[in-house]
């Protein structure tokens, strides 16, 4: 069976000029996840941090060969390290506009990340998802993804900004030479 290629969609690395599209899609993702964020609050940080703090792939759609591409999806990731895994990447966000889902764009974004992070020597890609998001769960299972809580007992934890500020400002019994 021959594989069909969809030339209406393409994937590329984001550039600083794409910040408004990234912010628009991030806002749509936040609304979908019921965690609205203020777009204007994050646009400056997105622009400043692109490429230095995070990487981003964009999914573009062209209605015809001579049409202007429209950004309809994105994926963000960063790099990190575990002593037992080595280099790995964490995908913080992936989103495809609802009218463009089911056409290979999400898988294409994941494949693009996989190619890039493998070139950087990463051994794993990790991410989190909401337990109520059955559509995403089904999508990831089709790619043979593991639920780390079920397979290893790992539970995601985090400190919010105010907690970080409090922790960083506390007096310590240990001298920090940072």
Q: How confident is the model at residue 48, as a pLDDT? A: 84
What's the distance, Cα to Cα, between the start and end of the chain in Å?
59
Q: How confident is the model at residue 38, as a pLDDT? A: 58
Q: Which residues lie below 8 Å from residue 136, measured CB to CB, with a gap of 6+?
A: 129, 130
pLDDT tens by residue, 72-89 = 999 999 999 999 889 999
**Separation between Cα atoms, residue 49 and residue 43, nearest integer Å:** 10
Residues of the chain with pLDDT under 70: 1-7, 36-42
Q: How confident is the model at residue 46, as a pLDDT? A: 79
* Environment class of 95 (CB within 10 Å of its CB; exposed 0-12, middle 13-18, buried 19+): buried
- In angstroms, the Cα distances linking 28 to 5, 19, 66, 77, 106 are 28, 14, 27, 18, 15
Q: How confident is the model at residue 126, as a pLDDT? A: 93
Q: Which residues lie below 8 Å from residue 85, measured CB to CB, with a gap of 6+?
A: 123, 124
Supply the pTM of this predicted model.
0.84
Q: Which residues lie below 8 Å from residue 148, measured CB to CB, with a gap of 6+?
A: 126, 154
Give the residues across from 55 on adjacent strands. Answer: 77
Q: How many residues does the chain have?
A: 178
Q: What are phi and psi of 2, to 5 degrees?
A: -75, 145
Q: How confident is the model at residue 6, as a pLDDT? A: 55
pLDDT tens by residue, 107-125 = 999 999 999 999 999 999 9
Q: How confident is the model at residue 175, as a pLDDT? A: 79
């Amino acid at each position: 069976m021959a594989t069909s290629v969809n030339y209406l969609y393409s994937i590329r690395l984001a550039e600083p000029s794409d910040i408004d599209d990234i912010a628009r899609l991030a806002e749509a993702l936040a609304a979908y996840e019921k965690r609205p964020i203020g777009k204007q609050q994050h646009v400056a940080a997105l622009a400043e941090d692109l490429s230095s703090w995070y990487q981003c792939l964009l999914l573009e759609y062209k209605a015809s060969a001579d049409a202007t591409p429209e950004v309809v999806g994105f994926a963000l990731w960063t790099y990190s390290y575990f002593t037992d895994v080595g280099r790995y990447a964490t995908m913080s966000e992936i989103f495809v506009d609802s009218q463009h889902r089911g056409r290979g764009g999400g898988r294409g974004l994941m494949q693009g990340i996989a190619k890039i992070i493998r070139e950087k020597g990463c051994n794993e890609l990790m991410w989190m998802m909401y337990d109520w998001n059955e559509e995403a769960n089904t999508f990831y299972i089709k790619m043979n993804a593991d639920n780390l809580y079920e397979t290893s007992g790992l539970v995601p934890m985090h400190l919010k900004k105010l907690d970080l500020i409090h922790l960083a400002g506390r007096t310590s019994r240990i001298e920090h030479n940072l």
